[in-house]
C-alpha cells in the first residue's frame, strides 16, 4: 500500500504511478517504480492528475519548478494507463 500525495488516500501500488526526482533535480514518471531518487505516488485517475496540475503538487513535494508540459505529459500517461486497465483488467 502507498499513499496518493494528491488525495491522501492509501491504495495498492498497482493502482498508482510513481513520480521520481533524481539527484539532478529532474522529475519524471517512473513506470517501473525502480528508478533511484525521491519518489511520490499518484493514482491512475485522470481527475487526480488534473488536480495535481492545478495545485502544482509535484512542485511543492519535490521543491522544484516544473513546467506545464510535465503535468500535461503526466495527465496523458495516466489517461493511457487508465484506459489500458479498463481494457485488460478483468478482475
Give me the CATH number covering residue 26: 3.30.1230.10
Residue 90: the pLDDT is 62
Which residues contact residue 82 at a Cβ distance below 8 angstroms, ignoring those fewer than 6 apart? 44, 45, 46
Domain span at residue 55? 2-88
User: Number of structural domains, the chain?
Assistant: 1
Residue 91 has pLDDT above 80, yes or no: no
What pLDDT digit, counting tens, does each position of 48-71 carry?
Answer: 999 999 999 999 999 999 999 999
37: left (phi over 0), alpha (psi -120 to 50) or beta: left
Residues in the chain: 91
SS3 8: coil
Amino acid at each position: 500500500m502507498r499513499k496518493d500525495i494528491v488525495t491522501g488516500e492509501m491504495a495498492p501500488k498497482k493502482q498508482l504511478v510513481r513520480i521520481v526526482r533524481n539527484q539532478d533535480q529532474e522529475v519524471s514518471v517512473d513506470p517501473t517504480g525502480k528508478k533511484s531518487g525521491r519518489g511520490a505516488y499518484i493514482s491512475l485517475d485522470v481527475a487526480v492528475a488534473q488536480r495535481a496540475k492545478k495545485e502544482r503538487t509535484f512542485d511543492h513535494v519535490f521543491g522544484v519548478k516544473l513546467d506545464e508540459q510535465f503535468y500535461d505529459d503526466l495527465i496523458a500517461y495516466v489517461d493511457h494507463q487508465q484506459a489500458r486497465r479498463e481494457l485488460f483488467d478483468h478482475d
